Amino acid sequence: MAEAFYITAGELAKRGFEFLPSELDSSKHMIYSSPATLDFNSPGAKGFGVKRAGLVIPESVMLLIAPGCCGRNTALLSELGYDERFFYLMLDDTDIVTGRYVNKIPQACEELLETLDYTPSVIMLCCTCVDALLGTDMERVCRACFDKTGVRAAPAYMYALTREKKLPPMGLIRKSVYSLLESQKRISNECNILGFFSALEDDNEIYAILKAAGIKKIHEIGRCKTFEEYKELSRANFSIVLNSEARAAAQDMEERLGIPFIELTRMYRIDKIHNQYRLMGDALGTKLDDTKYFEKTKALVEDFRARHGRLRVAVGESLNADSFELSLALCEYGFNVKEIFGTVGERNYVFIKKLAAVSPETRIYSNLSPTMMNYKPDPEINAAIGADACYYYNGIAAGIEFNSEAQPFGYRGVELLFTELDKALK
């Protein structure tokens, strides 16, 4: 039986993104959903898949339009209090073949409203690969639902087939989530933070840095409790995008609402974090002072390395980081990243090229490759980062999942990473 497929960072960089091995392209093989992939591959299993993300709008409900198999994990979200916000329009074989169900959607919306004792802010219409293949015009369906019920509807595209495209499902759902905002007078000392469905970790330095620069109110959808609070996002003077998957949403807000945006990247290399704050200050026409955070974090990393030496690390992708950027950071800090479990895309390939220069022998695996059934852990690895890496190295190496819902960013993210890893190693 074949061994689990991998390719080294050096080999992958030499091939170029256009010539990815088929094992790293999920559209060219069957998908292996090991327990390690459930946290991100199954649309409603955990975290913020499309289903849960669509309900981040306060006071919203969702109609899942799908065959039974696509709704199989939704019940897991009932533990988080979503069970009374989900409704189902189940499709049978005839529905799927003929597409006749499309005309039933407005009626289904009317029926679900009759079961509620309140009027929701929006009905999110969650559609699946069925509609991707049929080419359903969901914008038109949403208009039909509004005409039928008087309640706004918005699409939530759970198209797993487009996971590795330029605008994947999690990019599309972010755009939908902000699509209900309407133009209003903007306030000069308010801004939005876009990118995640939950809020940043409370102690993140970006709040203090922005307030020192004169920003009085910072809006995040993850902190909105009511629809009225949600609507306040459209009065921000500018937005800060912290996740590239929110870029399409920010562009839409700029076109519709006139709110410009600045894009930052979540990174774990402190010199790059420092440079981003400098560039953001330039864009805002002010100097952002991050000196104390830079020095504190630099000292923390140096102290960790002095105490734990050259760790041998496996990095997964079910975590609050880009697998390849985090791996590059760890290598530059002096650690040995031996393995990465990650999905290679156009956005993160730039990190692979840089990683190849400092650690060309790092092995890159795809969690989705069927060959992972034959994966064998490397006995030399003594630290695992990410829920999937922790699965592979359970009982073998110290591990941290590092995927809490409170989102890390900037220097605080680096601090949390090494603090959690230090506890695990002890």
Confidence of residue 368 (pLDDT cuts 50, 70, 90): confident
Pairing status of strand 336-341 against strand 187-194: unpaired
Average pLDDT over residues 34-39: 57
Whose tokens are 């039933």? That residue is: 104
Q: Is the pLDDT of residue 132 over 80?
A: no
Do residues 143 and 228 share a domain?
no
Q: Is the pLDDT of residue 240 over 70?
A: yes
Do residues 338 and 376 share a domain?
yes
Residue 61 lies in a domain: yes
Q: Give the C-alpha distances (Å, rounded to integers) separating 338 from 10, 223, 316.
A: 13, 38, 11
CA 218 to chain centre: 21
- Residue 181, SS3 per DSSP: coil
Do residues 365 and 332 share a domain?
yes
Residue 150 lies in a domain: yes
Pairing status of strand 363-365 against strand 7-8: antiparallel
Q: What is the pLDDT of residues 298-314, one digit of tens each?
A: 999 999 999 999 999 99
Residues 6+ apart with CB under 8 A from 175: 248, 249, 252
- How many residues are recorded in the chain? 426
Q: Which helix (H) or strand (E) holds 33?
A: none
Query: Which of 140, 173, 206 corresponds to the end of one domain?
Result: 173
Six token digits for residue 116:
């509620």
Q: Is the pLDDT of residue 336 over 90?
A: yes
- Determine the pLDDT at residue 328: 98
Q: Is the pLDDT of residue 351 over 50?
A: yes
Residues 6+ apart with CB under 8 A from 385: 313, 314, 315, 316, 319, 326, 399, 400, 402, 417, 421
- Strands, E, within 222-341: which ranges? 236-241, 261-263, 312-315, 336-341
Do residues 351 and 409 share a domain?
yes
Average pLDDT over all residues of the chain: 90
Residue 46: Cβ within 10 Å count: 17
Contact yes or no for 125/153 (Cβ under 8 A): yes
- Strands, E, within 22-152: which ranges? 61-66, 86-90, 123-127
Q: Which domain holds residue 334?
A: 7-30+291-425
Q: What is the CATH number of the domain that holds 215?
A: 3.40.50.1980
d(CA 63, CA 73): 15
Query: Which of 247, 263, 279 corresponds to the end of one domain?
Result: 263
Residue 225 lies in a domain: yes
When comparing pLDDT for 317 and 158, which is higher?
A: 317
Contact yes or no for 390/350 (Cβ under 8 A): no
d(CA 85, CA 123): 10
Residue 380 lies in a domain: yes
Query: Which of 105, 140, 173 corresponds to the end of one domain?
Result: 173
Do residues 299 and 408 share a domain?
yes
Do residues 134 and 191 share a domain?
no
- Determine the pLDDT at residue 135: 83
Q: Is the pLDDT of residue 41 over 50?
A: no
Helices (H) and strands (E) in the chain, counts: 17, 14
Q: What is the pLDDT of residues 141-179, one digit of tens each?
A: 999 999 999 999 999 988 665 555 566 778 889 999 999
- From 11-20, 41-50, 198-207, 330-339, the region with the lowest mean pLDDT: 41-50
- From 167-171, 320-324, 353-357, the region with the lowest mean pLDDT: 167-171
Q: Where are the alpha helices (DSSP H) in 178-322?
A: 205-212, 227-231, 247-257, 270-284, 291-308
Closest CA to 131 of 36, 64, 220, 217: 64
Residue 324 lies in a domain: yes
When comparing pLDDT for 318 and 249, which is higher?
A: 249
When comparing pLDDT for 65 and 37, which is higher?
A: 65
Do residues 107 and 213 share a domain?
no
Count of domains observed in the chain:
3
When comparing pLDDT for 84 and 324, which is higher?
A: 324
Phi, psi of 171, rounded to the nearest 5 degrees: -80, -40
Do residues 210 and 129 share a domain?
no
Q: Which helix (H) or strand (E) holds 316?
A: none
Do residues 313 and 411 share a domain?
yes
Six token digits for residue 237:
């003077």
Confidence of residue 42 (pLDDT cuts 50, 70, 90): very low
Average pLDDT over residues 388-398: 94
Q: Where are the alpha helices (DSSP H) in 137-246?
A: 138-149, 169-177, 205-212, 227-231
d(CA 302, CA 123): 50
When comparing pLDDT for 222 and 79, which is higher?
A: 222
Do residues 311 and 366 share a domain?
yes
Judged on CB neighbours under 10 Å (0-12, 13-18, 19+), 125 is: buried
